[in-house]
Amino acid sequence: MINNGAYLEDMFQKQFDREDTPSVWCHRFPDSKSARNLIEKQPSDFILVVVGEVTLVECKSVKHLYRLPKFAQHSRMVKAAMAGVGGKILVHHWHSDTFRVILVKDLRLGAASHDLRKLCEELTWTEATERIL
């Protein structure tokens, strides 16, 4: 089985599909790769609106216990942040089955990878989704 992170996106979507809160709206962007590049690259996996606060959410699944490799959406999320749209990355360290929620503004543009130990502690799924809200 190839770990492409789609399972994490599915988990995230199901979590917010279950939310019975009218003040929370979550939309999953279509994946340009699965659409055979017929659509433009998206800024993130999701756009989440909670009581009028807009946040882009990118889901990343990694084997490493505390590092996040460079990812294509980072620069697009930084550009959105300059326009006032928040951005968070949900990282699943699948080898240890732990999660982290990182603010886009805390990641250095152009870095080959990011050491997440100083940015956020390890979380459970419930703690991670609560931090995103």
Residue 14 counted as domain residue: yes
CATH number at residue 62: 3.40.1350.10
Q: What is the pLDDT of residues 17-59, one digit of tens each?
A: 876 778 899 999 998 666 566 678 899 999 999 999 999 999 9
Which pLDDT band holds residue 131 (cuts at 50, 70, 90)? Answer: very high
CA 49 to chain centre: 14
Report the C-alpha gap between 42 and 29 in whole angstroms: 7
pLDDT at 33: 63
Buried b (16+ CB within 10 A) or exposed e, 18-55: eeeeeeeebebbeeeeeeeeeeeebbbbbbbebeeeeb
Report the C-alpha gap between 66 and 115 in whole angstroms: 6
What angle do helix axes 125-132 and 6-18 make, rounded to 10 degrees?
70
Domains of the chain: total: 1
pLDDT of 6 over the 60 cut = yes
Give me the mean pLDDT over the 85-110 stretch: 95
pLDDT at 11: 94
- Residue range of the domain that includes 57: 6-31+40-132
pLDDT of 1 over the 60 cut = no
Higher pLDDT, 16 or 94: 94
Report the C-alpha gap between 40 and 93 in whole angstroms: 28
Residue 119 counted as domain residue: yes
Q: What is the mean pLDDT of the chain?
A: 90
pLDDT at 38: 67
Residue 89 counted as domain residue: yes
Residue 1 counted as domain residue: no
The answer to whether the CB of 133 falls within 8 A of the CB of 86 is no
